[in-house]
Amino acid sequence: MQFLQKTQFDFIGKRYLSFALSSLLILAGLVSLVLKRGPRLGIDFTGGTLIQLAFQEAIGLDQIREELRRRGSGNVEIQSFPKQKAFLIRSQGGAGSPEVVARTIPSALREAFPANPFQVERVEYVGPVVGQRLVRQAFWAVIWSLVGIVVYVGFRFRSSVWGVAGVVALLHDVFTTVGLFSLLNKELTITVVAALLTIAGYSINDTIVIFDRMREKLRTLRKVSLGELINLSVNETLSRTVNTSLTVFLVLLALFFWGGEVIHDFSLALLYGVVVGSYSTIFVASPLVYEWQTWKARRAQRTP
């Protein structure tokens, strides 16, 4: 099934516009990360306790915050979900160990609001040592995955420029996703890191499909200019890209709205990643190959 047939879009001709848009996305995320001194790390990385409570009757966030402050519950952040009458309480200090905090906070709220019972829907706690270990593991997981992609793409296409262009597009997707989470003030958890690695895999897979078509055209259309060849390759694979991205996007959209709070950020990262991954494959990776090959050709002409 093809929604788009025999398209003739001039993607290479619009490359500077796409470079400007990508630069804007990167700059917005970078400014947010600098102003906030890095991403907002979840308890997976910082250590602490997370408790989700669902009350029977509506209650104000200020009431919860004031009661916990009065009882000396430590450094606590509270997020409200009014429609579910629920609250997400994060403690990165508190009195005692994470296990103790997970018991004392619900106990304190039961005593403070006996007429409004609640249900403890979720409890998570991570020690600081485990959090530091997860930071290192997440960092190296991302680094080694990028190295592996460069090696694989470079070997398959027998040129490092293809691998570098693919990884630049991939880094574009991952960084702008982190920037989006910073702009929205959302936490970077181990689940979101898994989403980032999934985005990387999705992005490079789409890029390889287009690169493979470009390689085929280089063998058969030797008299066609590089810009026309790239445009032809992208247009021929455009329907496949749209079909794949749209299918994945609809599934993630369902998860985002009806999957629950636990996977909300995970599905948000993937939703954005699918869109930006398809964009970068067409408007970042392919134009980078064009710019590099054009620069090499001009340099060869100037060399005596």
Please give the CATH topology (third level) of the domain spanning 48-126: Alpha-Beta Plaits (3.30.70)
CB 191 within 8 A of CB 266: yes
pLDDT tens digits along 188-197: 888 888 888 8
CB 57 within 8 A of CB 85: yes
0.85 cut: is pTM over it?
Answer: no
**β pairing state of 48-55 and 76-81:** unpaired
Q: CATH 1.20.1640.10 spans which residues of the chain?
A: 12-41+130-302
Residue 5 phi, psi dihedral angles, 5° rounding: -125, 130
In the numeric block, which tokens belong to residue 71? 């009882």
Q: What's the order of all strands across the beta sheet hosting 118-126?
A: 76-81, 86-91, 48-55, 118-126
In whole numbers, what is the pLDDT of the chain averaged over residues? 82
pLDDT tens digits along 14-59: 899 999 999 999 999 999 999 988 888 877 777 778 888 889 888 8
Q: CATH 3.30.70.100 spans which residues of the chain?
A: 48-126
Helix (H) or strand (E) holding 49: strand 48-55
Return d(Cα 125, Cα 102) in angstroms, integer.
8
Residue 300 phi, psi dihedral angles, 5° rounding: -65, -35
pLDDT tens digits along 71-119: 776 667 787 887 788 888 887 654 456 677 778 888 888 888 888 888 8
Return d(Cα 185, Cα 191) in angstroms, integer.
16
3-state helix, strand, coil in the chain (%, to 5): 70, 10, 20
CATH architecture assignment, domain 12-41+130-302: Up-down Bundle (1.20)
In the numeric block, which tokens belong to residue 2? 């093809």
